[in-house]
Amino acid sequence: MTLLLTASVIPDVDLLLRFLDHRGPTHSLITIAVLMIPFLLYYGKAAIPYAVALVSHSMIGDLIGGTQLFWPLSTRLYGFLALDVKGSFTVTLELILFIISLAIMLKTRDLQRITTSNYRIVLLLPFGATIGPLLAVGRGPEYALPSLLIIPSLFYLAVFAYSMVMRHRAQKKET
C-alpha cells in the first residue's frame, strides 16, 4: 500500500524526458502492461495494486484532457471529457483528491511508512515526475503547473526527498 501513491505518478516522468510527448508513451496502457508483466509474473497478485495505480493515472486523470492510450499502435488522443486540464473544475477536483489521499495516508500510516521505507532509489522516479510539472522543464506555459496545485506538489516532493535522505542516513550509519 505504501508505494501506490508513488506508482500512480510515475507516468509523468515523461515531463523530464524532452523527446517524449506528455501523455504519450509513458501513459499508454500497452506500455504499462508490457512494463508490468515481469512484476506480475514475479510477484503475482501482490503486484496488481501497483498495476492498477499506474493504469489509474491514465484512465482517470489523463482521460480528462486526452492521452495516447494505445501508443505505439496509435498516437490518437483519447479522452471522454472535454475539460481543460488546467481549468478551475479540474484543478479543484485534483486539490480535493489530494486532501482525501492525505487523510487516507495519515489514517493508514502510509505517510509514515513511505518516509521510513527502504525504497530510496524507487522514489527517484516519482520525485522526478513531481518536480517536472513544478519546474515546467522548459517546455512552455502549457506544461506549467496550476498555482493551486503547487502546494500538493511541494508536499509530495518534500515527502519523497525526506524519505530518500533519511534512508541514505540510515544506510551510512549501518556501515
Q: Is the pLDDT of residue 54 over 50?
A: yes
**% of the chain exceeding 70 in pLDDT:** 75
pLDDT tens sequence across 95-126: 887 788 778 777 877 777 777 666 656 677 67
End-to-end distance of the chain based on CA atoms, in angstroms? 29
Task: Compute the CA torsion angle 66, 5, 169, 43 (nearest 10 deg).
Answer: -110
Q: How confident is the model at residue 59 (pLDDT cuts 50, 70, 90)?
A: confident
DSSP 58: I
Q: Is the pLDDT of residue 137 over 70?
A: no
This prediction's pTM = 0.63
Q: Is the pLDDT of residue 30 over 90?
A: yes
